[in-house]
Amino acid sequence: MSLPPEKASELKQLIHQQLSKMDVHGRIREILAETIREELAPDQQHLSTEDLIKALRRRGIIDDVMKELNFVTDSVEQELPSSPKQPICFDRQSTLKKVPNIDPTRRYLYLQVLGGKAFLEHLQEPEPLPGQVCSTFTLCLHYRNQRFRSKPVACACEPDFHDGFLLEVHRESLGDGTRMADSTTMLSISDPIHMVLIKTDIFGETTLVASYFLEWRSVLGSENGVTSLTVELMGVGTESKVSVGILNIKLEMYPPLNQTLSQEVVNTQLALERQKTAEKERLFLVYAKQWWREYLQIRPSHNSRLVKIFAQDENGINRPVCSYVKPLRAGRLLDTPRQAARFVNVLGYERAPVIGGGGKQEQWCTLLAFLCRNKGDCEDHANLLCSLLLGYGLEAFVCVGTKAKGVPHAWVMTFLIYKIFFRYIHKPTNPDEPPVAEQPKPLYPYRTIGCVFNHQMFLGNCQPSDAVETCVFDLNDESKWKPMSEEAIKSVCAPGATTSLPPFPPLCASTIDASVTSNEIEMQLRLLVSEHRKDLGLTTVWEDQLSYLLSPALASYEFERTTSISAGNEEFQDAIRRAVPDGHTFKGFPIHFVYRNARRAFATCLRSPFCEEIICCRGDQVRLAVRVRVFTYPESACAVWIMFACKYRSVL
């Protein structure tokens, strides 16, 4: 098979680059000179091509070249996140030598997950039958702006994980981004591999099982740059001290290391990093205690305010709250701050599970755990939104306080042209004005505020009252807001300040096909409505044209949720008037969900008397319609809009 001219030229260039890298020309010249000196008889004037090829083959030059020029045509499935890197995920049949598109000038870490064991919670689960829907495990990884996701495997005591992930190990500072990292350079790269294990049940609900930070640099001191590890995964939240299972992992450097470090050097480096991190955290703790004592001396009542300096992550580790926020750029996945706010809004809301009573269990998730699970508590939403708004260049803060009935809550505040904005514009009430003076009525649900923070600042509210409606948000006024030292915060929360800070992952594009998913949910809802009416002894006649006319309304609803601007309502109303004959009545019921389970959505709709009236409509010439519109966002989050409608002849 002949190649096109441009492909042939590209292939020649690649071969030339590889030969130059191996210094083949220099080696040939040396062998040529040696052969002429040792083997050429005095009466011979020149060396034949065959003699030269024999000499090259005898010295192994040709074999070396053919090993380096390893051409493959096997295709390998790749996972494409939003980051500029394109990590490669292998299936169990793939081998490292069959991977195309690997830059030979870059260094890679090949991580293989070779099965799991001792997942005792699933000890009694029977092996699923072929085609049977069952709960699954999915392993999610993040390393230096690269994200990976394993194939789902059935939940079992020994889950059948067999996946490989190719992680590029690079250093993007000091002009080293284009050079292959050597052992010493890689030893200074302290970023761990963050591994998150997610369980998905048969209804599509996700649960965070484990979150683990893998220290991979032990491979630098292993023979041939290959090592095998046994990783014990611990539970999350209240179960962070309980083992949930074990993963067998193999690490391999590619290309193989020319020179490995001694294990003693590696261990010394890791110990020094841990010691440095522990000292920084100790000094910050000493400072935080002193700051808190000073804060309490202002007013004894400050002891009851929600001033949150530290928060526990999913592994039960206390970290400064400022470390949960960092400017985060969404690339081309989100265009505006309002779109970012809508994306965070459609991520599911779920409190950390509590065994028994006793109120709310605190758990601030790391960003990867929150994104992989696609749901979290109010603090997780607030941290992500604040990070995105900071990425857009806005002055944003996470607020910690209470809402109605004194329930602890977290939300985001931004300053927009001297306005304090948290979806509602804040207009402070002046408590010193006479009672007859008209005061602005608060539209927001927030009641008290104890502190605000972002990645650089932490301020405690030291005003006489912590009520939001009377609060003055002049953060530069130290008589109203007591600040922490920005240098102290930077020492433990700045990127790279300590090795205990988990790096922020990039957002990934949605894998959901909005049109296909919309059609699937709509067909399922039609079937559910027809069965429900059949049980009531009613026939069902669908009108496709009326269903189609509902689409603009659903698009308008989502546009309004994103931009706070209402548009397209007049066109929708005019179209419905034309579609409904004189003497007929039209009824419609829109509803919004953040999940794609049609049966669950239908059960929720039936709890609304108005929706039930439409679905169970009786009368003359009843025509039913349903329209579903799925709007996709990063991380496969989605807003699902459903509208049920009917028209019928009014009979008095």
Would 235 be classed as within a structural domain?
Answer: yes
Which of these ranges, 44-58, 217-231, 557-571, 614-628, has the smallest mean pLDDT?
A: 44-58
Residue 36 has pLDDT above 70, yes or no: no
Per-residue model confidence (pLDDT) at position 182 = 84
Dihedral angle sign, alpha carbons of residues 371, 374, 380, 383: positive
Q: How far is CA 67 from CA 8, 18, 59, 63, 563, in A?
A: 20, 11, 14, 6, 58
Last residue of a domain, one of 243, 261, 279: 261
For 272-314, write each residue's pLDDT tens digit: 999 999 999 999 999 999 999 999 999 888 999 999 999 999 9
Last residue of a domain, one of 261, 293, 319: 261
447 and 364 inside one domain: yes
What percentage of residues in the chain have a pLDDT greater than 90? 57
C-alpha torsion sign, points 530, 532, 533, 539: positive
Asked, for residue 21, whether it belongs to a domain, the answer is: no
Query: In this structure, what token pair is assigned to residue 460?
Result: 């405690």
Q: Does any domain span residue 40?
A: no
Q: What is the pLDDT of residues 306-337, one digit of tens each?
A: 999 999 999 999 999 999 999 999 999 999 99
Cα 144 → chain centroid = 13
Residue 13 included in any domain: no
Angle at which helices 61-68 and 49-58 cross, to 10°: 70
Q: How far is CA 194 from CA 25, 82, 90, 262, 303, in A?
A: 44, 18, 18, 25, 36
Select from 82, 198, 208 the least CA-distant residue to 140. Answer: 198
463 lies in a domain? yes
Residues 6+ apart with CB under 8 A from 460: 295, 302, 305, 307, 450, 451, 481, 482
Task: Return the number of other C-beta atoms located less than 10 Å from residue 120's C-beta.
Answer: 11
pLDDT, tens digit, 9 for 90 and up, residues 338-381: 999 999 999 998 887 766 555 567 889 999 999 999 999 999 99
- Is residue 299 a contact partner of residue 462, using CB atoms and an 8 Å limit? yes
Angle separating helix axes 24-39 and 61-68, nearest 10 degrees:
170
pLDDT for 105 equals 79
pLDDT given for residue 38 in this prediction: 64
Q: Judge whether 90 lies within some domain.
A: no
pLDDT score of 92 more than 50: no
pLDDT tens digits, residue range 531-576? Answer: 999 999 999 999 999 999 999 999 999 999 998 888 878 888 899 9
Dihedral, CA of residue 171, residue 173, residue 175 and residue 178, to nearest 10 = 30
**Domain of residue 567, CATH code:** 3.40.33.10
Domain co-membership, 252 together with 130:
yes
Q: What is the pLDDT of residue 133?
A: 81
Range of the domain at 643: 514-649
**433-467 pLDDT tens trace:** 555 555 556 677 889 999 999 999 999 999 999 99
pLDDT at 73 over 50: no
Do 227 and 190 lie in a common domain?
yes
Query: 525 and 391 in one domain?
Result: no
Predicted local distance difference test score (pLDDT) of residue 122: 83
pLDDT of 527 = 95
Q: Distances from the Cα of 99 to the Cαs of 14, 95, 216, 226, 438, in angstroms? A: 16, 7, 22, 18, 72
Please count the other Cβ atoms lying within 10 Å of the Cβ belonging to residue 591: 16
Give the Cα separation of 380 and 153 in Å (integer).
27
pLDDT in tens, 472-496: 889 999 999 999 999 999 999 988 7
In this structure, the answer to whether residues 331 and 228 fall within a common structural domain is no
* Range with the poorest average pLDDT among 139-143, 220-224, 392-396: 220-224
Residues 610, 591: Cα–Cα separation, whole Å: 11
pLDDT at 223: 82
pLDDT for 198 equals 96
- Phi/psi-derived region of residue 17, left when phi > 0, alpha when psi is between -120 and 50, beta in every other case: alpha
CATH number at 125 reads 2.60.40.150
Average confidence score pLDDT of the chain = 84
Residues 187 and 275 reside in one and the same domain: no
For residue 181, give Cα distances in angstroms to 176, 215, 217, 259, 289: 8, 18, 13, 12, 42
CA 213, 235, 364, 633 dihedral sign is positive
Same domain, 486 and 535: no
Q: Residues 250, 115: one domain?
A: yes
pLDDT at 258: 82
The last residue of a domain, from among 208, 227, 261: 261
Is the same domain home to 459 and 579?
A: no
Residue 353, SS3? coil
For 191-197, what is the mean pLDDT? 95
616 has pLDDT over 50: yes
25 assigned to some structural domain: no
Taking CA atoms, 139 is separated from 209, 210, 211, 501, in Å, by 10, 10, 10, 21
More confident residue, 425 or 438: 425
Q: String of b and e for 360-395 (b: at least 16 CB within 10 Å)?
A: eeebbbbbbbbbbbbbbbbbbbbbbbbbbbbbbebe
Q: What's the whole-number mean pLDDT along residues 130-134?
A: 77
Domain count, the chain: 3
- The helix or strand, by DSSP H or E, that contains position 295, with its residue range, turns out to be helix 263-298
The size of the chain, in residues, is: 652
Contact 466, 448 (CB under 8 A): yes
Tokens 């927001």 -> residue: 444
**Assigned token pair, 609:** 């008397």
Q: Residue 552, SS3?
A: helix
- pTM summary value: 0.80
Burial class of residue 468 (count of CB atoms within 10 Å of its CB; 0-12, 13-18, 19+) = buried
Cα gap 350→202, rounded to integer Å: 18
Burial degree of 472 (CB within 10 A; 0-12, 13-18, 19+): middle
Strand partners, 143: 146
Nearest in space to 314 (alpha carbons), one of 201, 199, 209: 209
Phi then psi for residue 167, to 5 deg, are -100, 125
Note the pLDDT of residue 69.
57
Q: How far apart are the first and last CA of the chain?
A: 79
Position 99 in a domain: no
Which carries the bigger pLDDT value, residue 187 or residue 83? 187
Look up residue 536 and give its two tokens: 């009531």
Could you tell me if 567 and 641 lie in one domain? Answer: yes
Same-domain status, 481 and 625: no
Q: Are residue 603 and residue 460 in the same domain, yes or no?
A: no
On whether the CB atoms of residues 292 and 305 are closer than 8 A, the answer is no
* pLDDT bucket at 115, cuts 50 / 70 / 90: very high
Q: What is the pLDDT at residue 361?
A: 73
